[in-house]
Structure 1
Amino acid sequence: MRLIEQNIPVLQEQFILTNQAALFWERQKTLILSDLHLGKAAHFRRNGIAMPVQLALQDLERLDTLIHHFAAEQVIVVGDLVHAGANKEVLLFTALTHKHEQVSFTLIRGNHDRLSEDQLCAIGIQEVYDELNIAGITFSHDAVQYPVPFVVSGHIHPGVDVMFHTRQRMRFPCYVVTPHQLILPAFSRFTGLDTGRIPAGATCYAFYKEGIFTV
């Protein structure tokens, strides 16, 4: 895995964006990501649609590498950790949290997160919130509708269409940043991309295997 980083200022803080669909908050020693959708591929398989079993494993191996790289002390998942009910992919996540016993795992509930707090505790989630504020930055799965200084959200799986000089069009996942908001890309690679809900005037930090670029 090739890891590319780009620093951006948020309020008085520094966030490190990566080309691996997660960011690191340096002062808080916190890795932040959204939309793992554990069990989504299994849900498709149960309904007769062939999906590789390695999809979730690869996502969690990526998460493991990021935790090691940044020496993260906390991981915040900004919603949609589990796509449906308990499943084998959730067991893989449990193995990850047990491996990193020194790391605090926090979940901001998303629209797909239906496990009870007891079930989430059993898989290694230590804190569960509908919304969380740290140092003036609000974490919410969907963008909050009332004024806050800055909100970090997920949910829409943002992406951008880019037209190259060869007239070839390609679509990339991205971070969406405005003066008051940062929308995270989906951490799971088994998601679509929404290119239609980018706020006006936003800067999009698109990424791919070899880099990060602004749009």
Structure 2
Amino acid sequence: MVSTNIKGNQLILHPEKAAYWPAEKALLLSDLHLGKGAHFRRAGIAVPSAVSGANFSRLLSLIKLFKPARVLFLGDLFHSDYNQVWPLFCAFTHEHAEVSFELIPGNHDILPAAAYQEARMIRQPEILTIGNLSLSHHPLSDQERPTGTYNIYGHIHPCVRLLDATGNSLRLPAFFFGEKGGILPAFGEFTGCAEVKARLGDQVFVLVEGEVVEASV
């Protein structure tokens, strides 16, 4: 784990692709895409059924470690229409009644309101401002971003390309913190990633071999 300061806010970056905000007792995750494997299997595409179980196991380990009061999902919690994975998620949230599960909706969050109620999920607005941080799924433009806030978001599934000791190129998921906004890596096991080019002054934290490592820009 690595602790970093974002506009006066301590964030603890965890190698399981999550950030913990101690001052708010909030665990921040983005892009779980739960149910994506089941969605593709229903379409006849072979995807291991263990994917969803791995996501739940990792989330459980984070809750046990940090004991958050809130888990804030920064969009794309569930990948598709209702399928058999949603009742499993509902069972998970009810097993952890001490935690407030909250969704800042993304483009894949299309389930009806009743489904979120079933999961005791609080559906927040598309921009949730807490202190001087504005949380969203998509990156906010200067016009959209509340005045004086720094934007933390997902959606991009960021990664960085680095060279290993042998000169081979590796794409690794990463946390990116730029001048006006920071990007969380995709939490989901079955999500892919997109390369993000860092600029001078950006902070980049790469996830490699179970560790969070700051990369030089």
Aligned to 1:8: 4
Please give the alpha-carbon distance, in whole angstroms, between the structure 2 residues aligned to 1:210 and 1:33: 17
Task: Give the C-alpha shift of residue 51 in structure 1.
Answer: 0.8
Cα contact 2:39–2:83 (8 A) shared by 1: no
Segments of 5+ residues of structure 2 without an aligned counterpart are none
Cα contact 1:158–1:198 (8 A) shared by 2: no
- Specify the code of the residue in structure 2 equivalent to 1:208: V
Aligned to 1:75: 71
Cα contact 1:78–1:107 (8 A) shared by 2: yes
Please give the alpha-carbon distance, in whole angstroms, between the structure 1 residues aligned to 2:171 and 2:194: 10
Task: Give the C-alpha shift of residue 126 in structure 1.
Answer: 2.2
Aligned to 1:165: 165
Task: Give the C-alpha shift of residue 125 in structure 1.
Answer: 0.6
TM-score with structure 2 setting the length: 0.92
Please give the alpha-carbon distance, in whole angstroms, between the structure 1 residues aligned to 2:188 and 2:120: 19
TM-score with structure 1 setting the length: 0.93
**Fraction of identical pairs, as percent:** 34
- Specify the code of the residue in structure 1 equivalent to 2:210: E
Task: Give the C-alpha shift of residue 204 in structure 1.
Answer: 1.6
Aligned to 1:59: 55
1:18 aligns to 2:14 (yes or no): yes
Cα contact 2:198–2:204 (8 A) shared by 1: no
Segments of 5+ residues of structure 1 without an aligned counterpart are none
Find the residue that maps to 1:126 and give its secondary structure.
Answer: strand
1:135 aligns to 2:131 (yes or no): yes
What CA RMSD, in Å, does the superposition of the two structures yield over aligned residues? 1.3
Q: Deviations over 1:117-174 (max 9, x none)?
A: 2221112212332110001110110110125420110001000111123111111111
Find the residue that maps to 2:194 and give its secondary structure.
Answer: coil
Task: Give the C-alpha shift of residue 70 in structure 1.
Answer: 0.3
Please give the alpha-carbon distance, in whole angstroms, between the structure 2 residues aligned to 1:98 and 1:38: 17
Find the residue that maps to 2:23 and give its secondary structure.
Answer: coil
Alignment of 1:152-191 (within 5 A): 152-191=152-191
Cα contact 1:207–1:213 (8 A) shared by 2: yes
Find the residue that maps to 2:121 and give its secondary structure.
Answer: coil
Find the residue that maps to 1:15 and give its secondary structure.
Answer: strand
Which of 21, 39, 43 aligns to 1:43? It is 39
